[in-house]
């Protein structure tokens, strides 16, 4: 059987699927979810592990090689290592990553590794106890630090820290995060604040272009080199201080979008394919699970609607000439 590949009309071949396993989270990070929380989907509307594995099996035959499990917070989903093992057994899947806030990771790290997890990204927007609690609305930074140590012990590598940079909130910690890379094999990724799920322009009060990171390096007279991509790094532009074990990188979807090389699709916890993070288009894949050909066709249909770029810079510049309708779903509902 001649199975079609996931190539869109702009010639971008897709081999990366981000899968949200839940829309629930134990934290309420200020850029992801309102303080009062969200109205979460009832459990019967969330994809089962078996349904997720079935979709992955089909799209692995279309060229998907890399899987990232997200949420919400994926580790609020019980027995996540079972899903990891199911996906790891699918022919063609070469890489399984996890994005997590780290609150529940330490006691799970070894079991996840043994099940087939390749590596982790840990969200960590401050190194300061009180500030971390404010940004996450209740998180404990010590648990994140313990999780980093547990991942090292379990052999999950590379370990990446995701830092959403916010003006006036954590931008004074840029140097502290980069110093983490000096004597530890840790890879810090600064990420621009994105206007996902915001109905107004208040997000711009916290937005800061990542050129500020390089300004800090210049102010401190740090010597660094641009380096090749770290495993699974996708759109990150990577650097390493001279003599450092780790690295730091910039992911700037707003100021310098990287859509021309986008190779990812998203599967939401409630069973929709999203071809682009920023726009409303979504396709209810759960309705056809059990029919391989219908799954393949729906992925191709979704890919056919994927725009050339997400146009987030238009929001920053108050440019209303956008080609699609922005999504109203929050980051926790999509999977990031």
| Phi and psi at residue 48, to the nearest 5° | -80, 165
Mean pLDDT of the chain: 89
Q: What is the pLDDT of residue 84?
A: 98
| pTM: predicted TM-score of the whole model, two decimal places | 0.90
Least-confidence region, from 13-27, 250-264, 292-306: 250-264
Tokens 């081999």 locate to 15
Q: Give me the percent of the chain exceeding a pLDDT of 90.
A: 72
Has residue 24 got a pLDDT over 80? yes
Q: What is the pLDDT of residue 224?
A: 97
d(CA 68, CA 148): 18
Q: What is the pLDDT of residue 103?
A: 98
Candidates 3.10.20.10, 3.40.50.300, 3.20.20.70, 3.90.700.10; CATH matching 16-334: 3.20.20.70
Average pLDDT for residues 115-142, to the nearest whole number?
97
Average pLDDT for residues 168-184, to the nearest whole number?
97
d(CA 181, CA 127): 14
Q: Which pLDDT band holds residue 336 (cuts at 50, 70, 90)?
A: low
Output the CA angle 190-191-195, nearest 5 degrees: 160
Output the CA angle 224-229-235, nearest 5 degrees: 105
- Give 249-260 pLDDT, tens digit per residue: 999 776 555 677
Has residue 198 got a pLDDT over 90? no
DSSP codes joined into one string, 23-61: S--S---TTTS-TT---PPPGGGSPPHHHHHHHHHHHHT
Q: Which pLDDT band holds residue 1 (cuts at 50, 70, 90)?
A: confident
Tokens 């916290």 locate to 206
Q: Which pLDDT band holds residue 116 (cuts at 50, 70, 90)?
A: very high
Average pLDDT for residues 268-278, to the nearest whole number?
88
C-alpha distances in angstroms, 204 versus 123, 170, 322?
21, 15, 18
Relative orientation angle of helices 129-136 and 141-154, to the nearest 10 degrees: 100
| Phi and psi at residue 224, to the nearest 5° | -150, 160
Q: What is the pLDDT of residue 204?
A: 79
| Phi and psi at residue 147, to the nearest 5° | -65, -35
Q: What is the pLDDT of residue 270?
A: 94
CA-based R_g, the chain, Å = 19
Has residue 232 got a pLDDT over 70? no
- 119 forms beta bridges with 97
Has residue 288 got a pLDDT over 90? yes
d(CA 261, CA 14): 10
Has residue 20 got a pLDDT over 80? yes
Q: What is the pLDDT of residue 319?
A: 53
Has residue 73 got a pLDDT over 60? yes
d(CA 25, CA 39): 12
Has residue 321 got a pLDDT over 60? no
Residues 8 and 14 sit within 8 Å (Cβ to Cβ) = yes
Average pLDDT for residues 151-162, to the nearest whole number?
95
- Pairwise pLDDT comparison (333 vs 299), residue with the higher score: 299
- Pairwise pLDDT comparison (203 vs 57), residue with the higher score: 57
Tokens 């992801």 locate to 32
DSSP codes joined into one string, 293-332: HHHHHHHHHHHHT--S---HHHHHTT----SSPBP-S-HH
| Phi and psi at residue 110, to the nearest 5° | -65, -40
Break the chain into its structural domains and give their ranges: 16-334
């Amino acid at each position: 059987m001649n199975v079609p590949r996931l190539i869109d009309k702009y010639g971008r071949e897709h081999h990366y699927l981000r899968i949200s396993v839940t829309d629930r989270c134990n934290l309420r990070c200020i850029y992801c979810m309102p303080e009062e929380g969200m109205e979460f989907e009832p459990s019967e509307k969330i994809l089962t592990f078996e349904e997720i594995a079935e979709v992955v099996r089909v799209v692995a035959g279309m060229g998907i090689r890399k899987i990232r499990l997200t949420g919400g917070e994926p580790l609020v989903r019980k027995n996540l290592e079972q899903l990891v093992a199911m996906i790891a057994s699918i022919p063609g899947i070469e890489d399984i990553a996890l994005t997590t806030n780290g609150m529940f990771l330490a006691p799970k790290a070894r079991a996840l590794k043994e099940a087939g997890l390749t590596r982790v990204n840990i969200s960590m927007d401050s190194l300061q106890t009180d500030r971390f609690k404010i940004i996450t609305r209740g998180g404990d930074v010590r648990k994140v630090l313990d999780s980093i140590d547990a991942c090292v012990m379990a052999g999950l590598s590379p370990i990446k820290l995701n830092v959403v940079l916010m003006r006036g909130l954590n931008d004074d910690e840029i140097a502290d995060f980069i110093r983490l890379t000096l004597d530890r094999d840790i890879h810090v990724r600064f990420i621009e604040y994105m206007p996902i799920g915001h109905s107004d322009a208040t997000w711009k009060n916290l937005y800061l272009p990542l050129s500020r990171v390089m300004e800090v390096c210049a102010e401190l007279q740090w010597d660094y080199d641009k380096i090749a991509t770290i495993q699974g790094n996708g759109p990150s532009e990577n650097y390493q201080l001279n003599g450092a074990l780790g690295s730091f990188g910039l992911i700037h979807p707003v100021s310098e979008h990287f859509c021309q090389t986008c190779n990812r699709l998203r599967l939401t916890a409630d069973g929709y394919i999203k071809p682009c993070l920023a726009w409303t288009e979504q396709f209810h894949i759960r309705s056809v699970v059990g029919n391989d050909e219908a799954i393949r066709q729906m992925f191709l249909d979704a890919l056919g609607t994927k725009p050339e770029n997400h146009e987030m810079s238009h929001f920053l510049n108050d440019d209303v000439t956008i080609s699609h309708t922005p999504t109203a779903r929050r980051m926790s509902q999509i999977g990031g």
